[in-house]
Amino acid sequence: MEVTLTIPDDVAAEIQDGAGTSLSRRLLEFAAIKAYEADIITGRQVQEMLGFADREELYAFFKANDVRDDYTIEDLKSDSAALDELNAGAILIDDKNARREAKSAGLLVIPTLAILEQAAQRDLIDLPEAIDLLSKTSFRASKKLFEQSLERDRQRK
């Protein structure tokens, strides 16, 4: 399906904002993001809509555009019940809102980078290599967090 829009030149320039892609592509990407975030379409439909070859390309797009899945309190309650059944002492969560909810539910929250740092301290992994691989996935963390983790690793060695 094709859609035609009439946009004032100044608005179009603001949307384009020096991007290397065409205005029509930028608008298509914005529409895909908003529809995904509103649970109107799935990740698979975003992938198809934007012509991505695989999920890795989709995840890279989501990462570049700071698209996050919402982790609801209902999700947390369901996960908490499962953890209780397993007698688990902690939960691995990196999403800021999910961490806050988990902590308020009395769960011990362990971030992914903390797990990786522990594994590196035990010489189970090479932390710089693990962080490089992690950065190529849908995992999202600030560059500062990665740098701090790598600096702690350098100091440890």
Question: Token digits for 107?
Answer: 């769960």
- Tokens 């693990």 label which residue? 130
What is the spatial distance between Cα 153 and Cα 157, in angstroms, rounded to a whole number? 6
Cα separation, 86 vs 59, in Å, equals: 30
Which pLDDT belongs to residue 126?
95
- Supply the pLDDT for residue 130: 93
Tokens of 1: 């399906």
Which residue's entry shows tokens 């809509």?
Answer: 49
Q: Which helix or strand (DSSP H or E) is residue 92 part of?
A: strand 91-92
Q: What does the pLDDT read at residue 86?
A: 60
Digits of tens for pLDDT over the chain (157 positions)?
A: 888 878 888 887 887 776 677 888 889 999 999 998 888 888 889 999 999 998 888 888 988 888 876 656 566 566 666 666 666 667 777 777 777 777 777 778 888 888 899 899 989 999 999 999 988 887 777 788 888 889 999 998 7
* Separation CA 89–CA 28 (nearest Å): 44
**What pTM was computed for the model?**
0.47
